[in-house]
A and B are shown apart, each in its own frame.
Chain A
Amino acid sequence: MGMTITEKIIARAAGKRVIGPGDNVWVEVDILLTHDVCGPGTIGVFEREFGTTAKVWDKSKIVIIPDHYIFTADQKAHRNVDTLRTFVKEQDMPYFYDPGTHQYKGVCHVALPEEGHVRPGEVIFGTDSHTCTHGAMGAFATGIGNTDAGFIMGAGKLLIKVPKSMRFQVHGSVPPYIMGKDIILKIIGDIGFDGASYCAMEFTGEAIHQLSIEERMTICNMAIEAGAKSGIIEPDEKTFKYVRSRTNKPFEAVYSDPDAVYESDHTYDAATFEPCVAEPHVPSNYALARERNHIQLDRAYIGSCTGGKITDFMAAARILKGQKVTIPTFLVPATVEVAEALIKTPIDGVSLVEIFAAAGCNDIAPPSCAACLGGPADTFGRTSGTEVVISTTNRNFPGRMGSKLSQIYLASPLTVAASAIRGHITDPREFM
C-alpha cells in the first residue's frame, strides 16, 4: 500500500520504511523555529529541564525570528527580545534575525523560506500555529507549544502521531480574479473550522501548481484554520527554483505514491471559485464578496504571513492603480525583503510604493506581525473600538485585532483593495 507525501516525510525522519496514520513515532527534527512571543518561554523550559549550562542539540537547526512585538514601547516585549539575544550569544547560534540590526527580517513564516530554511522533504516544527505555511514547499511543518519546543531544543526529536491525509484537488485554470486566499477560504467554509482536525491537508491538481510559491503559502498557512496539523503541496519546478535560489543545502524531494490512501477526497474546478470573505468571528464563515456589498467598512488592512507577501501587494496594487481609497488602508509588508520589493517592483513603470501613495493609503509600516493579532496597545493598526475591518490576515476571532467590539472580514488582497476603494465589501471583478 502506498504512502502520502506526509507519511513518507515522517517515515524517513523516523528512520522507518513504512508507517501509517495513527502510528506514534519519534522524528528527527530538521528545523525548529521560534519567535519573540514563544522563544523566551521555550528557552525557559529548555534551561529548567536541561540545565542553565546545557547546549542546544544543534545550533544550525534552530532559527529564531522575532516578529510579533517589535515596534512597541512595551517593556516586557523588549525584555523578551533581550532574552533571545542573551541566549543566542551564549549558545553562539547562527540564525537569529535581530530587530534593530541589518539582520532583522520580519514575519517568521515569510522570512523562514526567504532565508533558505525551508526545504522539500524536511521536518519543521515551530512555536507558532502558522508553521503549517511551510508545507507549501513540500516539507512537513506544524505548530507546537513551548514545552515541546523546549524538548526539541535539548533532544532534537519529538514524538508525534502520523496524521491522516485529506486530499484537495483543484483542477482547471485559476481565473485572474481568484487568489490562494479565495481557494482556502472556500475549502474551510466547506469542511468547517474543525473539518481537518488532526489531519494533513494535501493540496494538489494543476490549478494549485499554476500558483506561485507565495500563493501556495497562503493556502498552506490557513490549514490550521480548519484544525489541520499541516498543509502540504508536492514540490515542482517552481519549488526547486525558489529553494535553490535561497539555499545550497541538499534536500530530497518527496511525493505521494499513486496508490496512497486518503481519509477523504475533495475535488474542485478552479473556474467555479468566486471572490469571497470570511465573516466574523470564525474563518469558516464563508460568504461571496458580491453578496456582502451592504457591509460598510471602517478600515482595510493588508499584511501578515498570510497576506503580506510581495504577490499580495502586487495584487492589491493592480486594483488600486489610478484609484483612491475611501477608508484608512493599512499596509504592513511581511518582511524587509517584501518592503524593499515594494520600492523596486513596478506596474507599468510605477512602483508599488508610488501606486499605494497615490491611492491615498496610509504610510507603509515597518515589517512585523503588527495588528494581525492585536498585541500591545501601541501596535500599528490595532483596533480599539467598533471598527469593521477587511483584512488579508488569517483569523477573525473576537478581539483578534485588538478590540473585542471590532468586526473582521477576511479576504484576498484583490478583494481588500477593491473594498478599500468603495468603502464597503466589493467583488474585485468590478475593477478588473
Chain B
Amino acid sequence: MKVIRGTVYVLKDDIDTDQIIPAEFLNLVPTIPEEYAKLGSHALCGLPAGYPPFVKPGAIKAEYPIIIAGRNFGCGSSREHAPVCLGAAGVKAVVAESYARIFFRNAVATGEIYPFETPLRLCDLFKTGDQMEIHVEKSQLINQSSGKSYTLKDLGAVAPVVEAGGIFPYARKAGIIK
C-alpha cells in the first residue's frame, strides 16, 4: 500500500502559479534534468513575507512531502513548471479544497504530485510542521500526533496515472500508445 508520510506545509486560498514559481525562473526548462532540480529549489519562493521558506536557503529540496491548502490552488498560469517544481522539491501530494483546472491537469499529466481534494477545510485545522500520513489507495489523511483520520475525495482514474508517472507512461502501460 502506498503511504506518503512526513511534515506538512500549510497554505490558504488562491495560491497562484506566480507564487509557486515566479516568472523569472521560467527560463528553466523542466525536461532538462539540472534545470528540473533547480526549479525545485525555487518552489514556492514567490510566497509573500511571513511564510517560512518552503525550501531552506542553499537547499535543493523541501522538507515537506505534503502541502495542505485551501480553495483554488494553482490558479493563474498554465506553466507546467508549477507542479514540476513542487515534485522536484520532493512534494508527493497536495491536499486542497479545490484546484485551478490547468494546474490539476498538469499535476496528473506530469505525474509529479497526487492532487487530493478534501471536503473539509483542513488548512484551518493544521499548521506547518504537523506530521501526517496519506494512505493513497484509501484516500485517507492521518494526523500522526492525534491519530485522527480524515477522508479525502477519491482520486478515481487519476490515481493510476500519477502512480505510473504521468500520462505517457500510463498510456504505454495501459496499451493506449506504443
| Contact between chains at A38 and B101 (CB < 8 Å) | no
Interface check B76, CB cutoff 8 A: yes
Question: Quick one: which of B21-41 are within 8 Å of A by CB?
Answer: 22-24, 26-32
Render A191-217 as a binary contact track against B, CB cut-off 8 A, 1 for contact: 001100110000000000000000000
Mostly, the A contact residues are loop
> Which residues of B in the span 1-38 have a Cβ within 8 Å of any Cβ on A?
14, 16, 18-19, 22-24, 26-32
The docked-state distance in angstroms from the alpha carbon of A224 to that of B18 is 15
A144 to B22, CA, bound (A): 18
Known: A44-B32, A77-B27. A147 touches B167 (CB 8 A): yes
B18:A145 contact, CB within 8 angstroms: no
Interface assignment of A282: CB less than 8 Å from any CB of chain B: yes
- Pairwise interchain contact B28-A227, C-beta atoms closer than 8 A: no
Q: In chain B, what residue has the closest Cβ to A127?
A: B78
Question: A282 contacts B14, CB within 8 Å?
Answer: yes
Shortest Cβ distance from residue B13 to the other chain A in the assembled complex, whole angstroms: 9
Cα–Cα distance between A310 and B105 once the two chains are bound (Å):
34
Cβ of B168 under 8 Å from chain A: yes
**Whole-angstrom distance from the CB of A168 to the nearest CB of chain B?**
19
Q: Which of A76, A80, A145 contacts B78 (CB 8 A)?
A: A145
- A193 contacts which of B28, B72, B109, B166 (Cβ < 8 Å)? B72
Return chain B residues, CB-CB under 8 Å to A373. 18, 23, 77
Contact in complex: A227, B166 (CB < 8 Å): no
- Taking a contact as CB atoms under 8 Å apart, the answer to whether B24 and A376 are in contact is yes
CA separation between A411 and B71, bound complex, in Å?
25
B108 → A minimal CB distance (Å)? 9
Q: Is A253 an interface residue (CB 8 A)?
A: no
Bound CA–CA A325/B125 (angstroms)? 49
Q: Is B48 close to A, CB under 8 A?
A: yes
Which A residues are in CB contact (< 8 Å) with B160? none
Interface pair B31/A45, CB less than 8 Å apart? yes
A229 and B101 alpha carbons, distance in the complex (Å): 7
Binds B, one of A55-63, A108-116, A333-341, A397-405: A397-405
Residue numbers in B under 8 Å from A74 (CB-CB): 27
For chain A, the count of residues having a C-beta within 8 Å of the partner chain is: 48
The reply to whether A40 and B72 contact each other, CB–CB distance below 8 Å, is no
B26 near A377 (CB under 8 angstroms)?
A: no
Name the prevailing secondary structure of the B interface residues: loop
A340–B124 alpha-carbon span in the complex (Å) = 53
B105 near A148 (CB under 8 angstroms)?
A: yes
Q: Is the beta-carbon distance between A398 and B78 smaller than 8 angstroms? A: no
- For B83, list chain A residues within 8 Å (CB): 145
* CB neighbours of A377 from chain B (8 A): 24
- Expressed in whole angstroms, the Cα–Cα distance for A84 and B127 within the complex equals 44
Query: Judging by beta carbons under 8 Å apart, are B98 and A197 in contact?
Result: yes
User: Per a CB cutoff under 8 Å, which of A41, A76, A194 touches B75?
Assistant: A194
Q: Does A143 contact B (CB under 8 A)?
A: yes
* Set B76, B100, B101, B168: member contacting A397, Cβ < 8 A: B76
Instruction: Give complex CA distance A147, B105 in Å.
Output: 10
Minimal beta-carbon separation of A5 from chain B (angstroms)? 19
Interface pair A68/B71, CB less than 8 Å apart = no
With a CB–CB cut-off of 8 A, which chain B residues contact A129?
76-78, 102
Enumerate chain A residues within 8 angstroms of B30, measured Cβ to Cβ: 41, 44, 146
Contact A44 B109 (CB under 8 A): no
A147 in contact with B75 (CB, 8 Å): no
**A41 to B110, alpha carbons, bound, how many Å?**
12
With the chains together, A145 CA to B168 CA distance in Å? 14
Q: Are B72 and A144 in contact (CB under 8 A)?
A: no
B46: nearest chain-A partner, CB-CB: A399
> Which residues of A sit under 8 angstroms from B133, Cβ to Cβ?
none
The 4 closest A-B pairs by CB, nearest first: A44-B31, A145-B80, A145-B106, A143-B78
Ordered by A's residue number, 11 sampled pairs between the chains whose C-beta atoms are within 8 Å are A37-B79, A38-B78, A38-B80, A41-B31, A44-B29, A45-B31, A74-B27, A127-B78, A145-B110, A147-B167, A227-B100
**Sample of 13 further A-B pairs with CB below 8 A, known A41-B81, A193-B14:** A37-B79, A144-B102, A145-B79, A145-B109, A146-B80, A147-B109, A224-B76, A373-B77, A374-B24, A375-B26, A395-B16, A397-B18, A399-B18
A residues apposed to B, CB below 8 Å: 37-38, 40-41, 44-45, 48-49, 68-69, 74, 76-77, 80, 83, 126-129, 131, 143-148, 151, 155, 193-194, 197-198, 224, 227, 229, 282, 373-377, 395, 397-400, 402, 404
